[in-house]
Amino acid sequence: MGVHDHKEEAAREIGQLSAGIITVSDTRTEETDESGRLLRELLTGAGHSVEAYAIVKDEMAAIRRTVLNFAERVDFIVVNGGTGMTPRDVTIEACRPLFSKEVEGFGELFRILSFEEIGSAALMSRAAAGAMGRTMLFCVPGSKAAVRLATERLILPEIKHLVSHIRKG
């Protein structure tokens, strides 16, 4: 069975997934959270349901608490924002220890695709993904362009395949 056959089989078996969206920001509100709104549109447009949504301050404990809370209720979580290089940007540091298995290729591919769009500034694009038991967790930069890139090019094409793998065993 080829990779495409395996992905198609996983998609048939899995069906609709439930998602959580977490926007990490010290300044955004529900009204100004354009990246969170775009994520909702992309995920629901692909047939998934958004069951949880929150805006969380860029604080390690708050991010972890929200991710762990959502993980009990959804199949996958997309955290956007808080991935930069400033001292306040702690999304990656908050989430990486929660991974039972990291998907290293996610960050690598995100930066390659980002490089094609923004050039060498892509080296500062911190992105990560991994399984937290039976829940997938993705951490992406908070710009609308980064959210669209990660969601359309990486998350949506592979989410059912990833979830089918972490549910085995």
Q: Which domains does the chain have, with CATH numbers?
A: 74-169 (3.40.980.10)
Sign of the dihedral through C-alpha 160, 17, 100, 103: positive
* pLDDT, average across residues 102-109: 97
Tokens standing for residue 57: 């301050």
Residue 15 pLDDT: 84
Mean pLDDT over all residues of the chain?
94
pLDDT band at residue 11 using 50, 70 and 90 as cut-offs: low
Identity (one letter) of the amino acid at 142?
A: G
Per the CB < 8 A criterion, the answer to whether 129 and 102 are in contact is: yes
